[in-house]
A = this chain, B = another copy of it.
Amino acid sequence: MGFTLDRERLVETMVEQAEIGATENGGLHRLALSDDDKAIRDWFDEQLTDLGLDVRVDVFGNMFARREGADPDADPLLVGSHLDSQPYGGIYDGALGVVAAIEFVRELEARDVTTERPVEIVNWTNEEGSRFQPAMQGSGVWAGALDIEEEYAKTDEDGVTLEEELERIGYKGDVPAEPQYDYDAYLELHIEQGPFLEENGKDVGVVTGVVGFTWGATTYYGEADHSGSTPMQYRSDALVAAADVITQVRRIPSTLGDRTVGTVGYVDAEPNSINIVPGEVTFTWGFRDPTREVIDEAKERALHEIEAAAEREGVDYEWEERMDVDPVHFAERCTDAVADAADELGYDAMEVFSGAGHDATYANHVCDTAMVFAVSEDGKSHTEEEYTSWDDCYAAANTYARAALTLAGRAD
């Protein structure tokens, strides 16, 4: 029995959401809990209300709506993603997942399909972690991985708290921010944000898990000496020590695995003056891999290098852990549903591991989970140049909808 989405309507819905918080360059500036976020939440509410669904909002702003199935007491399927964006992001990151979920529900309505289980659709609060940290904040609180009071108190760079903003835009709901039902499964569509699908000429990705990651921050304390009159052997150059580590963070992954990545994204040197030896340098470092042991090994090697560099340069140091998240392996029955859907629809699919964290990471704490990846052109994301062709949007959304139907079960 066929079940495919209306391509024209998918494109139309995507174009519609892309107007809210649109940038000049065809991207999105739709920060969590901003007025544009309020507008897209209102839009989301409207889409579902028009389908006759009741929308509920929890105390952390996560929005849910239910379409009943044959058995109202059956554990529901949860579908959805996030609608907030990066400061200058693309129109697909998160939004494509929510639109695909909306279109799935619309298609059920259009074809008058009765599912076995209820289907719930969700829009998570603050997945990007750009304006308020951390990322995946809404799903994290909901899954019990983050403490709601701590997260309410988080501030943006202007010192405004998350709770204030949630109230300001009118999305601090009344439902407790925790699973209201015993969900059977969670399925999320997202753009790959990486180059593998395109490089391998695939139409869609069957995501089998999410990498774990570890982030740390290190500060080296040296001596801010005069760069002219201080001989090399007298120096304690905090930036040289940091450079040694940056080089090793680049190298460590290549000794570990083909999916291991290591990054130094942030660096700050003091006094940062052309003719003074850097006396204090802070930088962040992190590794990601599908395997816990590999992450631990990478971290251990990095800490070893951090210490060695300090000794070599004669500087002091301190470091702190910023974040540590276990890898996630999705349940086979869910990933199978996705693989089978792609196969039935005649799409060329491949298994991939997600290198980026998603709401699905936290949902996996609560119920069986899987993801579908859409092709990212050039693997670009977190930029207005982020792009997925309508063909690829449709291929992924179709695969997603069919897999969702499998998990929800047909009662007719």
Query: What range describes how many residues of A lie at the interface?
Result: 35 or more
Asked if A230 is at the interface of the complex by the 8 Å CB criterion, the answer is yes
Residues 266-306 of chain A: 1 if any B CB is under 8 Å from the residue's CB, otherwise 0?
11110011111110000010101000000000000000000
Residues 340-360 of chain A: 1 if any B CB is under 8 Å from the residue's CB, otherwise 0?
000000000000001111000
- Residue of B228, B272, B278 near A261 (CB, 8 A) is B228
The residues of B that contact A226 with a CB separation of less than 8 Å are 193-194, 355-356, 381-382
A265 B274 Cβ-Cβ under 8 A = yes
Asked if A237 is at the interface of the complex by the 8 Å CB criterion, the answer is yes
Given contacts A225-B379, A275-B286, contact A230 B264 (CB under 8 A): no
Give A233-287 interface residues, CB cut-off 8 Å to B. Answer: 234, 237, 239-240, 242-244, 246-247, 250, 253-254, 258-269, 272-278, 284, 286
| C-alpha spacing A171/B176, complex, angstroms | 71
Q: Closest CB of chain B to A267's CB: distance in Å? A: 5
Asked if A14 is at the interface of the complex by the 8 Å CB criterion, the answer is no
Given contacts A229-B192, A259-B231, contact A267 B265 (CB under 8 A): no
B265 A273 Cβ-Cβ under 8 A = yes
Q: Closest CB of chain B to A128's CB: distance in Å? A: 11
| C-alpha spacing A226/B259, complex, angstroms | 14
Asked if A204 is at the interface of the complex by the 8 Å CB criterion, the answer is no
The 21 sampled A-B contact pairs (Cβ below 8 Å) are A194-B230, A195-B230, A195-B234, A211-B228, A213-B228, A224-B382, A226-B356, A226-B381, A228-B261, A229-B381, A231-B355, A232-B254, A240-B264, A264-B278, A265-B272, A265-B274, A265-B276, A266-B269, A266-B272, A267-B278, A274-B286
